[in-house]
Structure 1
Amino acid sequence: MTIHSDHPFVPPEGERDPLRRLRGRLPQAVTVCTAGEGRSRTGLTVSSLVVADGDPARVLLLVDEDSDLAASLEVEEPFVVNVLGARDRSLADPFAGTAPAPGGVFRLGAWRQTPYGPVLETAVAWLGARVAVEPRQVGWPLLVEAVVEHVEIGPEAPALTHVRGRYVDLG
């Protein structure tokens, strides 16, 4: 067996899409967006998002159109954006679907149900939002626009970001 220092299926640097390479150099917060309750809970790691201040404040997400989360984000439906800290790094890949989660992703971490969806007890911060308009295709992902209805800030903790294919602890 060979151990690779890089992912064995990633094209060599010179053959990669320049736009994806540029995007990979833009540090992004690592979040897990969740919706539903009980057996209908769903979640997805999302790093492409913007929070826009205003009255009302809005959150814009780029979500994989084939994800279970995308299927649940209809107009007026609530969801949660859980901002991960460094201590929650182990949740990012299972919720992205790139690492195993025996028994399901919600067995990882401690979760509590809110009117917006599941909230990670150790999240650095979280917001509850409601989908404002029908999600639409922008490139390959769906653009989800939602109105922010609730915000909670957790205890001060190092933030987790994603840059150039790696998680980085900003603490």
Structure 2
Amino acid sequence: MTIHSGHPFAEADPDPARRFRGRLGGGVTLWTTGEGATRAGLTVTSLMVALGPRPGLLALVDPDSDLLAELRDNGRGVVQLLTWADRQLAEAFAGTAPAPGGPFRQAEFVGTPAGPLLASATTHAQVSLVDAREVGWSVEVQVALDEVTIGADDVSPLLHRRGRYRTLAE
């Protein structure tokens, strides 16, 4: 076995668009929806805020995700910003780490009218689905920000860039 100092798949995928996306980086969010047995969640990093009279979010999600199916069914969800301490939870909801009993058992969640809220999340939004349409290999989900809670700015945000989790070094 050889230990590599770089990313093992860096040269295996020469697609310039994918490599460009990897260099953009961004904040890591957890999107949740549903209740009880219909709860669904997904780690999402491809998103942006759209300001205006009715502010919203645009995100790219997996078209086969449970989150998308449930969000389309009930039309409501919760978007929470994750912190450095949540990186294992981000992996569980991304489906890249084991989650015995399912990802919702990996942390404490509380119910809201829009869906499950990570109990430790200090910055989050309850959202309503506006539109969902195919874009490339993803589905662009447009949601309206119904209720926003802004927490303290002293937590270490969880960021994702070039296939790795990072935090700010100020």
TM-score by length of 2: 0.91
CA contact (8 A) 1:75 1:130 kept: no
Q: Which residue of 2 aligns with 1:25?
A: 23
Using the TM superposition, give the Cα deviation of residue 81 of structure 1 relative to its aligned residue in structure 2, in angstroms. Answer: 0.7
Identity %: 46
Using the TM superposition, give the Cα deviation of residue 73 of structure 1 relative to its aligned residue in structure 2, in angstroms. Answer: 2.1
CA RMSD of the aligned region, Å?
Answer: 1.8
Which shifted more, 67-76 or 107-116? 67-76
Q: Work out whether 1:150 is the aligned partner of 2:147.
A: yes
Please list the CA deviations of residues 114-133 of structure 1 after superposition, one character each: whole Å capped at 9, or x if unmatched: 01111112224111110012
Using the TM superposition, give the Cα deviation of residue 7 of structure 1 relative to its aligned residue in structure 2, in angstroms. Answer: 6.1
- DSSP 3-state at the match of 2:24: coil
Q: For 2:129, which of 115, 128, 131 is the aligned residue?
A: 131
Using the TM superposition, give the Cα deviation of residue 55 of structure 1 relative to its aligned residue in structure 2, in angstroms. Answer: 1.2
- DSSP 3-state at the match of 1:93: helix
Q: Work out whether 1:141 is the aligned partner of 2:138.
A: yes
CA contact (8 A) 2:32 2:40 kept: yes
Give the 3 Å change call, closer, same or farther, for CA 35–3 of structure 1 in structure 2: farther
Q: Distance in 2 between matches of 1:21 and 1:122?
A: 33
Q: For 1:165, which of 147, 163, 166 is the aligned residue?
A: 163
Q: Distance in 2 between matches of 1:168 and 1:104?
A: 25
Please list the CA deviations of residues 78-108 of structure 1 after superposition, one character each: whole Å capped at 9, or x if unmatched: 0011100111111111100111100010011
Unmatched 5+ stretches in structure 2: none
Q: Which residue of 2 aligns with 1:46?
A: 44
Q: Work out whether 1:94 is the aligned partner of 2:92.
A: yes
- DSSP 3-state at the match of 1:65: coil
Q: Would you identify which runs of 4 or more consecutive aligned residues in structure 1 move more than 4 Å?
A: none
Q: Which residue of 2 aligns with 1:105?
A: 103
CA contact (8 A) 1:75 1:132 kept: no
Equivalent position amino acid for 1:12 in 2: E
Equivalent position amino acid for 1:153 in 2: I
CA contact (8 A) 2:34 2:74 kept: no
Please list the CA deviations of residues 28-76 of structure 1 after superposition, one character each: whole Å capped at 9, or x if unmatched: 1101100001111100000001111211111111000011011112277
TM-score by length of 1: 0.90
Q: Distance in 2 between matches of 1:153 and 1:75?
A: 28
Unmatched 5+ stretches in structure 1: none
Q: Work out whether 1:67 is the aligned partner of 2:58.
A: no
Q: Distance in 1 between matches of 2:11 and 2:52?
A: 43
Equivalent position amino acid for 2:147 in 1: H
